[in-house]
Amino acid sequence: MAVVPIETRYKTEMNALFEEDAKLRSWLEVEVALAYAHAKLGNIPLEAAQEIEQASKKVELARVVEMENEIHHDLMAMVNALSEKCKKYGGYVHFGATSYDIEDTATALTLKRAIGMIRKRLVATSDLLKQHAASRKGMVCIARTHGQHAVPTTYGMKFALWFCEVERHLERLSQAEEMISVGKMSGAAGTMATFQGKGYEIQELVMKELGIRAAKTTNQVVQRDRHAQVVFTLALIAATLEKIAKEIRNLQRTEIMEISEPFSTKQVGSSTMPQKKNPHRSERICSLARLVKANVVVALENIPLEHERDLTNSANERFIFAESFILTDYMLREENAILAGLQFYPENIERNLELTGGAVLAERVMIALTNKGFGRQEAHELMRMCSIEATRDKKKFLQVLLAHPEVTRLIPKDELEKLFNLKNYIGESSEIVERAIGKV
């Protein structure tokens, strides 16, 4: 029975890339590429490379595990299992290589493929955010700063902001893919000594066959700053997903209820309170994001390995790569489902916009007074006092302003009333959205 929830509850298509059999197949893929590189350079017969390739298709994970239990070395267990499947040329398996020539190169292949899967999910997120930004650019709502009502904004602005952030993550993913798509075939301490003067040629041939680049220089391992960048990129994506989910959670509060997650007809919110409609998907995203972000610390700790290498990165990398990719993939899938079925409540959006009785337009009146010759700081203080009076006496903000001669002396009643149209104090928000999503 599985212990780790990424194998059950949070499992996605991403799991297939990190399962033990997939790992074994990646190792074998590198071993075959190495054999053909030797064959092209005349180091071994072509028939040997061909036999190794055919034998690689017959290696079984169970046999590798059985050998590992005997010799306590997982990579060498694979080498032995591959060798025993060869009838004649098993002695050429792993010729000149060290363990991490195979492991790090295979890891590059896996992470490159995993990034490709994340990219597909993230492009879908980007598309959904863009659609919401375009369709909601005229949906005026109240902006909140410090949890307080600020000035009017639009839902289009919210989604455009997130869209731009996701677009930056797509750029970062490409940079991370470029950084991680390197392998090595440089031997025990990175000197290529075992390849007897043909190290660069072998390395280039192997990487060309696998579709990645050769690292310029390594010791016994590919340096872990590359892997840390990948994990950090996933953490940035997770943080943005958390940001969006947190905003949805807050806007779904009973007393706000402007938007909400989709809620199916048979869905249960609470085991004891039948009326509950909890934002459980958004809360789950916020919870899992903490794990992905925490893995960045581990990835950074893996960078300063001792001398030409030690094993302190190895055990934890069996967790952090799979966990970070699977959880990010799961969160993207959840976020996309939320965005696709997001519910809007226009009547509540309208109610909350009017909640302060027009006090959220104090800034607008301040600017109008300043344009009429009133000092900006004096206008600010006057509006501050008027807002306090309106709150204290439970009056509309316009009502309080109309009773102030200092205001009406400069701004006639009809002109002042026009300032209190909440829906036309949204500045350049429509153009901002259009520019953000590429409509202009």
In terms of Cβ atoms closer than 10 Å to its own Cβ (0-12, 13-18, 19+), residue 335 is buried
Q: What's residue 36's pLDDT? A: 98
CA separation for the pair 139, 162 (Å, rounded): 16
What pTM did the predictor assign? Answer: 0.94
Nearest partner of 24 among 50, 69, 54, 62, judged by Cα: 62
280 belongs to the catalytic site: no
CA–CA separation, 215 and 207 (whole Å):
10
Rg (C-alpha) for the chain, rounded Å, is 30
Average pLDDT in the chain: 95
- Work out the pLDDT band at 38, boundaries 50, 70, 90: very high
Task: Say yes or no to pLDDT of 351 above 70.
Answer: yes
The reported pLDDT for the residue numbered 263 is 79
pLDDT of residue 2: 79
Strand ranges for 268-307 from DSSP E: none
Give CA–CA dist 65/242, Å, rounded: 39
235: nearest Cα among 179, 319, 300, 293: 293
Task: Find out whether 422 and 358 touch, Cβ atoms under 8 Å.
Answer: yes
Is 314 one of the catalytic residues?
A: no
- Length of the chain measured in residues: 440
Which of these is catalytic: 146, 264, 271, 307? 146
| 187 or 440, greater pLDDT | 187
Q: Cα dist. 321→113, 288, 342 in Å?
A: 12, 15, 31
Domains of the chain: residue spans and CATH: 359-419 (1.10.40.30)
**Residue 17 has which token pair?**
């890339």
pLDDT per residue as tens digits for the range 100-157: 999 999 999 999 999 999 999 999 999 999 999 999 999 999 999 999 999 999 999 9
- The pLDDT of residue 384 is 95
Q: What is the pLDDT of residues 11-25, one digit of tens each?
A: 999 999 999 999 999
Counting residues of the chain whose pLDDT is more than 70, the rounded percentage is 99
> Residue 342 in contact with residue 261, Cβ under 8 Å?
yes
Mean per-residue pLDDT, 224-245: 98
pLDDT exceeds cutoff 70 at 440: no
Q: Which of 73, 135, 174, 270 is catalytic?
A: 270
Is 90 exceeded by the pLDDT of residue 435? yes
What confidence tier does 270 reach under pLDDT thresholds 50, 70, 90?
low
Instruction: Give per-residue pLDDT as tens, 65-109.
Output: 999 999 999 999 999 999 999 999 999 999 999 999 999 999 999
pLDDT band, very low/low/confident/very high, at 271 (cuts 50, 70, 90): low
Instruction: Express each pLDDT in 184-228 by its tens digit.
Output: 999 999 999 999 999 999 999 999 999 999 999 999 999 999 999
Q: Are 369 and 407 in contact (CB under 8 A)?
A: yes
Residue 140's DSSP bridge partners are 154
